[in-house]
Amino acid sequence: MLTKEEQECEETFVRTHSRDGSGRYVVRLPLADTASDLSGTRVAATRLLACMEGRFKRDPRVRDLYRDFMREYESLDHMSPTDSRDATADGNKCYLPHHGVLKNVDGKVKLRVVFNGSSSLPSGVALNDKLRVGPNLLPALPDVLTRWRRHKHAMATDIEKMYRQILVHPEDRDLQRILWRHDETEPIRDYRLNTVTYGLACAPFLAIRSLRQLATDEEARFPLGSAMLRRDVYVDDILTGAATQEEASKIQQQLIEICRAGGFPLKKWSATDPELLKDIPAEDKLRADLRSWEPHESHTMLGLRWHPSADQFAYTMRESQPQPATKRAVLSTTAQLFDPLGWLAPVVVRA
């Protein structure tokens, strides 16, 4: 049962979404209130950019990773420069501060720039306060994992840059402005973010809802792929499979085709059966050379470590610093374990 606000968000999507000539989805931001003037957010965005540039001077590695991320963002047309003095009324502009988040992914340090839709004016009002969040469309994680474990031929793939494959309607892009310059010798410029932006309250709904709409729109052409999009997707991960290799291959092909039709490229393919990966381009596999997989190696899948060759899950823990074995210390350590199916329950101390 949807709340009134969730129903209004759903109705806004149904009424306003469209697809461009390439098949990509174009969505409107589900605004609950259009009366507030958010142009004052430029002050906070300017201040945070200055802080980030100060950090760049202290940490060249962060500077290079940040600039590489933003250059790619612009080269993919996910953001476009614009004039701060254009004809758009100031009240229809909102500037999103941004900062970088470092993450170690399978031994490699990566940086993702996060745009802060919760940055508020002195009055306490932020863009996220004016957006309808929408219903939670994600399935229960234990259900996804349990279904996946039933398949003899299991496979997994990732929707590359899922949020950013969905375009925001041009009339709403001024609510997604940022300040940026690729080098400190350049003047600071205004940019518009052209796609669904991670950091906005409505982004998870818009992303999953667009994928569900793709399943509906293309069901006649790709019935198997459509069913998998409805059942086997958790955020940007698709975990699926079948009892036979032939059936798994059909599912895989339809998933690729239906996602391509909506502008969602599938990357990082992995599978328990190497035959399922033989026709996948090397750049779309998690490992270009399947022979490089070692029996003991794994990769992260929905927060767990998965060994494709053995089709087994594993857990990793950082070595804890020596400390007294108090109940508080033990509970603090066990709370850091991500265990959605309770596999570690026999060895976890419960409060």
Q: pTM for the complete prediction? A: 0.90
List the end-to-end C-alpha distance of the chain, in Å, as a whole number: 33
Q: Are 188 and 181 in contact (CB under 8 A)?
A: yes
Sequence-distant contacts of 109-113: CB under 8 A, at least 24 apart: 109/61, 109/65, 110/65, 111/62, 111/65, 111/66, 111/69, 112/69, 112/198, 113/66, 113/69, 113/70, 113/73
What is the rounded distance in angstroms from the CA atom of residue 81 to the CA atom of residue 79? 7
Could you tell me whether strands 108-115 and 237-242 are parallel, antiparallel, or unpaired per DSSP bridges?
unpaired
The tokens describing 219, both together, are: 């069901």
CA distances from 96 to 51, 238, 347 (A): 14, 30, 44
The predicted structure's pLDDT at residue 297:
58
Please report the beta strands in 230-297, taking only residues with DSSP state E, as ranges in sequence order.
Answer: 233-234, 237-242, 266-271
For residue 192, the cross-strand partners are 80, 177
What is the rounded distance in angstroms from the CA atom of residue 36 to the CA atom of residue 39? 9
The predicted structure's pLDDT at residue 289:
57
Which residue from 333, 330, 323, 272 is spatially nearest to 301, judged by alpha carbons? 272
The predicted structure's pLDDT at residue 351:
45
Q: List the chain pLDDT tens, one digit each, 351 residues.
A: 889 999 999 999 999 999 999 999 999 999 987 657 787 899 999 999 999 999 999 999 999 999 999 999 999 999 999 987 765 656 689 999 999 999 887 678 899 999 999 988 877 889 999 999 999 999 999 999 999 999 999 999 999 999 999 999 999 999 999 999 999 999 999 999 999 999 999 999 999 999 999 999 999 999 999 999 999 999 999 999 999 999 999 999 999 999 999 999 999 999 999 999 999 999 999 875 554 545 555 677 788 888 887 888 887 777 767 778 788 887 787 777 888 888 888 877 654
3-state secondary structure of 306: strand
What is the rounded distance in angstroms from the CA atom of residue 188 to the CA atom of residue 182? 9
Phi, psi of 243 (to 5 degrees): -75, -25
Q: Are 133 and 205 in contact (CB under 8 A)?
A: yes
Q: Where are the domains of the chain?
A: 4-135+167-202, 291-336
The predicted structure's pLDDT at residue 106:
66
What is the rounded distance in angstroms from the CA atom of residue 214 to the CA atom of residue 227? 11
Where would I find the H helices in 78-139?
A: none
Per-position b or e across 5-26, b if 16+ CB within 10 A of its CB: ebeebbebbeeebebeeeebbb
In this structure, which CATH number among 1.10.10, 3.10.10, 3.40.630, 2.60.40 belongs to the domain 4-135+167-202?
Answer: 3.10.10
What is the rounded distance in angstroms from the CA atom of residue 239 to the CA atom of residue 236? 10
User: In the block, which residue shows the tokens 């087994």?
Assistant: 312
What is the rounded distance in angstroms from the CA atom of residue 308 to the CA atom of residue 235? 21
